[in-house]
Chains A and B, each alone.
Chain A
Amino acid sequence: MSQRVEHTLACYGTAIAAAAIFVLFAVAAPNFIHISNLLEILKDSSFLAILGLGFSLSFVTAELDLSFANICSLAAVVTGGLIHEEVSPWLAVLAGLVTGIAGGALNGFLVTRLKIPSLIATLGTASAANGLAFAETGGVAFVGRWDPTFLGVARGSVLGIPNLVLWTAVAAALVQFLLTATRLGMRMIFVGEADEAARLAGVKVRWMKFMGLSLSGLTAGFVAVLLTAHLNSAAPNMAGDFLLTSIAAVLVGMTMFQPGRVNVPGTLLGAFMIGMLGNGLVLLGAPYYVQDILIGVILVASVGLSAATLKKAAFGL
């Protein structure tokens, strides 16, 4: 195989596979190609795409955040709980965002100050966030007739494009801007690639890692607001399913465009692929567990293809 073909396959192989699956569903599954269904896929993918973008900000500094889904659930019940108590929706939104960034900052503190490996620290935070979310709700969900303006944040659309899709585009643009146009982004990436080299070049390594984990938490808080508004409810483990799928979206994204590297277009396409698989399989009448099995396979395969980065983030190898 020529080098050019190899390079093309390395960069675009996963994207080509995604296109092939798309065509397969379009042919085999009735209504798959319908515009309303495609918008539905985009809406469903938006939560895991934004959470994936947040996860990638910690991952890019070579730290793993395994708490974002639970922090998201906690932030959701904080937001939903306040709205339920008829506090101003915007104050509730602010509380959700603050909960997210506080959870992320706690991870940052545990990892950079107490030197606890992020794998362990964020698992601990996840467990604590989960407990707090159940304590807040008493194990039930907050549901009610909430302020339509608040619900419109996630439920509305602009020129026919669902707000959730627009929010995903905004989040992707911000993360891309941070990573490619700012000094903070360049330093976060450098720290993830070679932390000792960064330190010797005068970069504040701990601060970069702290920022990565905090921003991951902030993103979780943002998704919590969207999720609460979209579902008009808040439950203590409502974002739990996004943990694996969002990480899978990032890892699948690392197999394309810039192989082995966290990249925004890859994460977006990875999220869309996972959303498309779920949707297409349902339309084909496949049992629900087939999707879980496929996600597992995708996760392992993509980790296999981007193992070096993952090992460094998880185990410092």
Chain B
Amino acid sequence: MRAAAPILRLAGIRKSYGAVEALKGIDLAVDAGEVVAVCGDNGAGKSTLIRVAAGALEPSAGAVEFEGEPIALGSPLDALRAGIATIYQDLALAPRLTIWQNVFIGAELKNRLGLLDKRRMRVNAARYLARLRIELSDVNRAVERLSGGQRQAVAIARALHWEARLVIMDEPTAALGVTESARVLDLIRSLRDGGTAVVLISHNMADIVAVATRVAVLKTGVKIYDAPLGDLTADDLAHMIMTGTPPAPRA
């Protein structure tokens, strides 16, 4: 039972592209400290759904509530200001720029004279990364010199700076090796432990089972399953995605 209003509530979200209806009335609620995995096959509507929640796409119908209040998300900036940060698959970073520049872009810290407060941005960038248990001694390092997992951490640090209460992550481990993927899953856990809600889009069922507290499965624009992870296995999820049939209750 939910004790308070969820962080995010999507109600009856529909999105059409011409004659094609990508989302057919999706409801989804996400609580603080929850990791909700949204999964489904290609074309299920996952990306469309998160783009609506991220303010990158306007729904054809339906309502979005954030922390119990109706909210209009006209742009990614609206979502960021509200407290919703999205980490896209390509991470949306500038590889040749430094870690601190990437963390603070769009929400730079200024001193009393209105100029960039670089010292404070460097200190805070290191602090955010430390919160994520990422050891990066030099925040002046260019992002292109970081590993895939470290880059995810920089993207998440940006979300921390925006004080996001909800972080949407699109395929965060898609391009990573085993060790780096494990590190990113640790980052997700540390966000969850800090009370941040996470919506995780992934094709990797093992990752979902490793970190999700709840799973929502979409198929051709319809939500066919939404329940706590419980004892669902990666195979159960894969079966559900392929057949569109929820697993039979275990004896």
Contact = CB atoms under 8 A, between A and B. Distances in A.
Interface of A: 180-183, 186-187, 189-190, 193-194, 196-203, 260-261
A202 B75 CA distance: 8
Contact of B86 (A180, A186, A200): A200
A203 B116 contact: no
A297 to B, nearest CB: 27
Contact of B88 (A186, A193, A200): A200
Contacts of A203: 105-106
Interface string B79-111: 011000010100111111100010001111010
B6 interface: no
B115 interface: yes
Contacts of A180: 116
Contacts of A193: 94-97
A235 B86 CA distance: 55
Nearest to A181: B115
A26 to B, nearest CB: 37
Nearest to B56: A200
A292 B95 CA distance: 37
Interface residues of B, number: 24
Q: Is the interface of A mostly helix, strand, loop or mixed?
A: helix
A187 B105 contact: yes
Contacts of B75: 202
Contacts of B76: 199-202
Contact of B94 (A182, A194, A260): A194
Interface of B: 56, 75-77, 80-81, 86, 88, 91-97, 101, 105-108, 110, 115-116, 158
B48 to A, nearest CB: 17
7 contacts: A186-B105, A189-B97, A190-B97, A193-B96, A194-B95, A201-B106, A203-B106
A197 B101 contact: no
A35 B33 CA distance: 71
A75 to B, nearest CB: 30
B122 to A, nearest CB: 13
Nearest to B54: A200
A183 B81 CA distance: 18
A181 B108 CA distance: 11
Contacts of A181: 115-116
A198 B106 CA distance: 7
A183 B91 CA distance: 22
Nearest to A187: B105
A198 B107 CA distance: 11
Contacts of A194: 92-95, 97
B115 A182 contact: yes
A261 B96 contact: yes
B94 A202 contact: no
